[in-house]
Structure 1
């Protein structure tokens, strides 16, 4: 009988469940071979209108009597680490993909708020091509990679982008508390990430005393879309050891 492994997936900025559209099938195929049945639930933080609502959605999905394996990507990785520190009894294990636990300094916050105001005043025409190339290294023109990023951005629109950008600007610095995370924890990043500096992944793993997995196949920030097979292999091995 296959072991049932419940995963809760938290997306990043301007993303929804389509972010996981290539990763989940790859993970389920590996699980079938290894006798693991992955049951994936998507936390729709893109529907939240405030950071408090994001936190509430995540908390509602992860109760102590329904503890699960939490996976967060980028902004979602930060939210997953924050949630694990707030409710450790509700998290069986934690995987942080392409994210940083740091807060933002005053200059960064100011720059983010200027961006928010510019977005609020103007018409949002979608993610610019140059910006997309910072997120995606391989597959910018692939409908299953860059096309998915464009589609999520177009469908979620300006309001979601403004909300997430503004609400996450004043996030706490979790670095001093990383050593408090006691559940199995893995950090996954790309050595060619142009959004979250790869040094952040090494720092996070060192401060948390946890596993670090670096993907070095040319993929950029959008690992679930750019490197689904490599990421699935890392996750399947992690859950084989920590279910």
Structure 2
């Protein structure tokens, strides 16, 4: 594996969620740098999950710990299908392997039609609020940070990412044999605990951690707790076994 000669730590490749970017990890960045050398995947240039995965792999280190959040978790699963030998360990945060249903696809098509016709002004207040714990749904600082990432990505990324269909990936999970961490949140309105448990059941080497009092945006809502979870997992499950 690719190691830093001075710190003996692995490369960490982090993938954000829908209309997010590497600023998602800002509250954890200092701590993450103590766990490994940081790399951030670009999910904004392609309109399919498999193409996003291929692009990430083109720019990734030879071997790496892969951590995917939300939509980034779907891309991480696609990476595991395309190049499993390059992944030392896998973290799936607030994500799923569930296929989009007909209602979701129809809703996305309506959003796409509208997005192509009008200027992009960011995500709706409802969409932003639903990504947070109900008690944080009016937290202006968090909402502003989410909207800033969406606006930074812009209209073309919105259209590409919204066009990316998510297929049923549960059967493919059985082929994942590296140490795997699944993180779910008690109050996540976008990715359910049941979906996380189903992923855990399919991945032979998976463990799962549930974060209490947290919505979907775990890296922003509970950065310290998530950092500790990742640190404990990497120390026990990945670095010592792979070094």
What's the counterpart of residue 234 of structure 2?
239
SS in 2 for 1:21: helix
- Structure 2, gaps ≥5 residues long: 1-5
Q: 2: distance between equivalents of 1:142 and 1:22?
A: 17
Q: Distance in 1 between matches of 2:120 and 2:173?
A: 37
5, 16, 32: which is aligned to 1:27?
32
Which of 199, 202, 205 is the aligned partner of 1:204? Answer: 199
Deviation at 1:86, TM superposition (A): 1.9
Give the aligned partner of residue 8 of structure 2.
3
Does the 8 A contact of 2:53 with 2:76 survive in 1?
no
Matched with 2:3 is none
Q: List per-residue Cα deviations over 1:195-228 (Å, max 9, x = no partner).
A: 1122111111112131101100x22111111111
User: After alignment, is 201-210 or 123-132 more displaced?
Assistant: 123-132
What's 2:218 paired with? Answer: 223
Q: Contact 2:130–2:137 at 8 Å: present in 1 too?
A: no
How far apart are the structure 2 equivalents of 1:126 and 1:2? 40
Q: Which sections of structure 1, spanning at least 5 residues, go unmatched? A: 32-36
Aligned residue for 2:172? 177
- Provide the TM-score with structure 2 as the length reference: 0.87
Distance 2:46 2:126 in 1: 28
Considering only aligned residues, what root-mean-square deviation do their CA atoms show, in Å? 1.8
- Which position in structure 1 is the counterpart of 2:55? 57
